[in-house]
Chain A
Amino acid sequence: MLELVIISTLNGVQYGMLLFLMASGLTLIFSMMGVLNFAHASFYMLGAFFGFQISRWLGFWPALVIAPVAVGGIGALVERYGLRNVHRHGHVPELLFTFGLAYVIEEVVQMIWGKAPVDFRVPSLLDFPAFTVFATNYPAYKLFMLLTSVAIFVVLFIILRRTRIGLVVQAALTHPHMVAHLGHNVPLVFMSVFGVGTALAAVAGVIAGPALVTQSNMAGLLGPILFVVVVVGGLGSLAGAFAASLLIGLVQTFAVSVNLSMADIFAFAHFTPSPGTIARDVWNVTLAQIAPILPYVLLVLVLVLKPTGLWGTRET
C-alpha cells in the first residue's frame, strides 16, 4: 500500500508538472488575448513529432533544444499572421481560428507521420532505473521529466517576477495601452509570449514523447485536460494553473491505480442490482475505469459552483 502511494505520488507529481508546462503557456496566452487557445495541445504534439524527427537526425539532446525553438517560431508566426488578423472580427472567430488550427495541425501530422504511433525512444543515457522503491523500479527518464519541468517552472517564475522583461509582460497583460504609451512594443510582447508559450508546450511534447505514446491523436487526448487545468485553476492565474495541474495529475494517477467499485464497497450488504440495467453498470464500474472522466466532473462542478476557478480572480 505504501509502495502504491509513493509511486502514484511520484507519477502524479510528474504528470502534473508536465501538465503545468503546457498550462502555464495556455493561461499566459489567455490573460494576454482573452482567448483560450484550442491549438495549444497541438503545439505540444508538434513538439513531440519534431522532437522525434530531429532526434533521428541529430540525437535527443539537440532535439530538446531545436524542436521547441522551431515550434515557438511557428507559434509566433501564427500569432502574427493569423490571430492578429482574426482579432478584429471578435472573440468567437478567434476561438474558432484556434479550433480550426488544431484540426489542421492534426491532419498535417497524420499526413507526414501517419496515424500509427512512431517509435520515439528514451535516450540511452537515461534508459536505466534511477532508484527502487520496494520492488518497483523508477525509471531515470521519469525523474528527468520531473526535474526538467520543475527547472522550467522555477526559471519562468523568476523571469516573470524578478526581471524587467517579466515586469513589462505582466503590465502588458493587464494594461496594454499604458505599456504602449511608455514606449514598449506591445504587439511584439504579445507575439513573444505566444511564441514562448507554444515553445513550452513543445518542450513538454519532446520530453513526454518517449514516455507516453507519440501519435497523431495525442493532442486530442490531452487538449481537453489542459482546459480543465486552466479553468479549474482560474483562467489567467499561474499559481492556480500550478495547483490545478498537480491536483489533476494526482487525482488521475491515484484513481487509475484504485480498482474499487460500488459493488466492492457495499459487498458486505450482499446487494446487487439486477443484471442488464444501468444501475448494474454503475454498480460494477471501478474507480480506475472512471479515472479519465474525473477531470471533467471537476470542471463542470467548478464552473457551476465557483466560476472564477479555485484560485482565479476573473470570471470567464
Chain B
Amino acid sequence: MSVLTARTGPAPRPAILTAIGRYGVWLAVAAAFIVLPLVFGSGTALTMMSLMGISIVFALSYNMLLGQTGMLSFGHAVYFGLGAYFAVHGMNAVAAGGLPVPLPAIPLAGGCGGLVFAILFGWVSTKRSGTAFAMISLGLAELVGSSALILRSFFGGEEGVTTDRTKLLRLFGVSFGQQIEVYYLIAAWCLLCMFLMYAFTRTPLGRMCNAVRDNAERAQFVGYDPQMVRFLAFCVSGFFAGVAGGLAAIHFEIANSAYFSATQSGNVLLATFIGGSGYFFGPVIGAALVSYLQVMLSDLTEIWQLYFGLLFIAMVMFAPQGIAGVLVMHRPLWGRRALSRVTAAYAIALPPALVMLAGFALVIEMTYRLAAKAAEGPAMTFFTVPLAADRPEAWLAAGALAIGGFVLFRLTWPIIAAAWAAADPRKESRP
C-alpha cells in the first residue's frame, strides 16, 4: 500500500517547505513589520504605522461581523472604546499597585473588557439579524456614548482618563517611552491578532459564520443555531476590538468619549468596506489605506473628509467588492500573460481620469474657498498653482478639466472592455 501511494502520489515535500508554503505569507508580513521602521524611520511615519496597526486589528475584528457573519454594525466603536478604558484603568491600577505586569500584556485587559461587554450587549443584539441588528447596534452605541459622559467616575467625563505607559514593570529594560518601542509592541500584537483572526476563519465555527451569513435558515436545518453562531462571532469580534482599543490607549496614553463616537464606528465601517469585506485581507488594505489617507489628505486639504466620503460612495456604486475584490478580479490574468494588455488599457485611461478628478477637486476647493473661507479672500493655491477663486476663468478651467476629462475617460472604457474581452473570452465587458 505504501509503495502504491509512493508511486502515484506526488513526492512528499520536506516538512520545512510545507511549513514555508503554509506560513510564508505570515513570515513575509512579520519581516515587513520589522523592516518598515528601518526604511521609514521618521516620527510621523512611525506614528502613522502605529495607527495603521491599530486600525488593521480594529477593521479585521469588524469584518468578523460584516464580512464573515453578515452582520452590519453601526456601533463597533463601543467595544473599541471600552477596551481602551479597561486598558487605561488596568495600566493605572498596575502602576499604582506595583503589580508585576509588563506593558505588552495590557491589550489583553482591553480585550477582556471588550469581550465582557460583547457578551452582555451581544446577548441582547444578536437575537435579531439584518436591519434590526444594525438598528440595535446604533441604539447601543448612542446609549454607551451618552452613558460615558454621565458615569464620570469610570469614564472621566469630557476630558477622559489619562495614563502613563512608562510606569509599568520593565522587561529587558524597555520603558516604552519612545515611539519605536510602541510601534514594535503594536506590530507584534497586530501580527498576532491577524494570525488568530485568520485562524478563526478556518475553524468550524468560522465556517458556520459564513453559512449563517449566506443562508441562516439552511444553517438551522443542518442543526446549528444561527443566533448562537452570531453571538459567538460577536463575542470574538468584541474581544479583538477591545485589543485594538487597548493598543490605542497605549499609543495615545488617554481614553476619552471620542473613542465611542459615531465617527469611530463609521470610519471602521468605511475602512472595511473600501478594503473589501468579502476577503480576509480586504480590511487590512482598507485600514492601512484609510489611515494613510487621513494623515496625507488632512495635510493637503481641510475638507479631506468630503473626498473620503465621495470615495466611499464611488466604491459602493462601482466596486462594492472593495479594493481586495478588484485585485482578486485580476488574478486570473496572471497566468495568461494578459495582465500587461489590461494594464496598458488602464494606463491609457488613467490620465483622463486624473484630469477629471482634478477638475472636480478644483470645483470643490474653489467653492470651499468662496463659501466657508470667504473671510480669507479668494486667493488660493491648487497643487502649487496660484489662482483666484472668484475669477470666471478659474471656474471655466475647472469645468473644462472636469467635463473634458470625463469625456476622454468615457472614450477609454471600450479600450478597457476590449482588453478584458481579449484576456478572458467569457467576459463580454469589464465587470
Contacts and interface: CB of A to CB of B under 8 A. Distances in A.
Interface of A: 36, 82, 85-86, 89-93, 95-97, 99-101, 103-104, 107-108, 110-114, 220, 224, 227-228, 231, 235, 276-278, 280-282, 285, 289-290, 292-293, 296-297, 299-300, 303-304, 307, 315-316
B269 A96 contact: yes
B311 to A, nearest CB: 9
Contacts of B131: 36, 91, 95, 235, 316
Contact of A303 (B132, B150, B320, B371): B132
A112 B367 contact: yes
B151 A316 contact: no
Contacts of A111: 303, 306, 364, 367-368, 371-372
21 contacts: A82-B313, A86-B317, A89-B316, A89-B320, A91-B130, A96-B273, A96-B312, A97-B313, A97-B317, A99-B266, A99-B269, A100-B312, A100-B313, A103-B266, A104-B306, A228-B139, A278-B153, A278-B154, A289-B150, A300-B125, A307-B132
Contacts of B372: 110-114
A109 to B, nearest CB: 10
Contacts of A96: 269, 273, 312, 316
Contacts of B154: 278, 281
Name, among B125, B138, B308, the residue most crowded by chain A CB atoms within 10 Å (CB to CB).
B138
A196 to B, nearest CB: 23
If over half of A's interface residues share one DSSP class (helix, strand or loop), that class is named, otherwise mixed; here it is: helix
Contact of B152 (A99, A101, A281): A281
Contact of B306 (A108, A235, A290, A299): A108
Contacts of A113: 371-372
Contacts of A277: 153
B301 to A, nearest CB: 10
Interface string B281-325: 000000000000000000000010110111011001100100000
Name, among B127, B142, B367, the residue most crowded by chain A CB atoms within 10 Å (CB to CB).
B142
Contacts of A278: 151, 153-154
Given A93-B316, A112-B367, A299 B139 contact: yes
Interface of B: 66, 70, 72, 124-125, 127-128, 130-132, 134-136, 138-140, 142-143, 146-147, 150-154, 262, 266, 269-270, 273, 303, 305-306, 308-310, 312-313, 316-317, 320, 364, 367-368, 371-372
4 A-B pairs closest in CB distance: A107-B306, A316-B132, A104-B309, A103-B309
Name, among A85, A114, A280, the residue most crowded by chain B CB atoms within 10 Å (CB to CB).
A114
A310 to B, nearest CB: 14
A37 to B, nearest CB: 12
Contacts of A297: 143
A142 B147 CA distance: 31
A299 B136 contact: yes
Nearest to A94: B316
A67 to B, nearest CB: 17
Given A96-B273, A107-B309, A304 B303 contact: no
B17 to A, nearest CB: 41
Contacts of A36: 131, 134-135
A293 B147 contact: yes
